[in-house]
């Protein structure tokens, strides 16, 4: 009988700990308070008919909340077009320095008719933070919106149309290098 009582006491302690943990992580959340929702809704309300490049988790959730036109985004997307995949990679990491990265990124965005880009900084709630140089457009492009270390910049365009002609002399001939993303493991 003492052994059964001891096992029940240990089980009760573990059940109580699991319930406290579950209560802490499974509490109701308001999606409207997330940066993914706020950035997507802002872009839909203020950047009508403008192709936008959203970062990481914002891009993945934007289509669930809004109908904005994205350069990259949607559910676990990789663009089907391999050239567009290279363009997305180049915008995330197009150069060794912030200045070089900004020049390469702007060339790709203009080629694909991107009129605005959202950048997530290191203190952002955005989960993946894909940019190698998150401040590369600071002082280079005009700021349209800023909240919780996410900044939306205007990309200068001649026209807001998604269809445009690019002269051969302005075509992108340089293939961007593949980003080398170090794997980081957390020790427990």
Give the pLDDT confidence score for residue 188 in this predicted structure.
47
Residues 6 or more apart whose CB falls under 8 angstroms from that of 59 comprise 53, 70, 72, 73, 74, 77
As given in the structure block, the two tokens for residue 112 are 């694909």
**Mean pLDDT across the chain, nearest whole number?**
86
Prediction pTM value: 0.76
pLDDT higher for 29 or 101?
Answer: 101
How far apart are the C-alpha atoms of 115 and 47, rounded to whole Å? 8
In the chain, where the domains are located: 32-170
The torsion angles phi and psi of 64, rounded to 5 degrees, stand at: -75, -30
Residue range 111-149, pLDDT digits in tens? 889 999 999 999 999 989 999 999 999 999 999 999 999
Cβ proximity of 117 and 135 under 8 Å: no
pLDDT value at 77 more than 90: no
CA angle 65, 67, 68 (to 5 degrees): 105
Under a CB-based contact definition with an 8 Å cutoff, are residues 54 and 39 in contact? yes
Do you know the residue count of the chain? 188
**Where is pLDDT greater, at 103 or 166?**
103
Question: What confidence tens digit (pLDDT) does each residue in 148-180 have?
Answer: 999 999 999 887 666 667 666 655 555 555 555
Supply φ then ψ for residue 144, to 5 degrees: -100, -35
């Amino acid at each position: 009988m003492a052994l059964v009582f001891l096992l029940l006491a240990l089980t009760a302690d573990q059940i109580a700990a699991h319930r406290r943990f579950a209560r802490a992580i499974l509490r109701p959340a308001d999606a409207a308070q997330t940066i993914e929702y706020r950035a997507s809704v802002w872009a839909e309300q203020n950047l009508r008919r403008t192709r936008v490049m959203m970062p990481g988790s914002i891009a993945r959730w934007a289509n669930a909340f809004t109908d904005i036109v994205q350069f990259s985004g949607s559910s676990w997307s990789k663009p089907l077009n391999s050239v567009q995949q290279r363009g997305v990679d180049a915008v995330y990491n197009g150069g060794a320095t912030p200045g070089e990265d900004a020049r390469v990124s702007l060339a790709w965005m203009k080629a694909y008719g991107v009129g605005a880009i959202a950048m997530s900084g290191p203190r952002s709630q955005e989960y993946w933070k894909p940019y190698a140089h998150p401040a590369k457009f600071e002082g280079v492009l005009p700021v349209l919106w800023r909240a919780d270390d996410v900044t939306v910049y205007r990309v200068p365009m001649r026209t807001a149309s998604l269809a445009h002609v690019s002269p051969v002399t302005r075509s992108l001939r340089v293939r961007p290098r593949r980003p080398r993303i170090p794997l980081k493991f957390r020790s427990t």
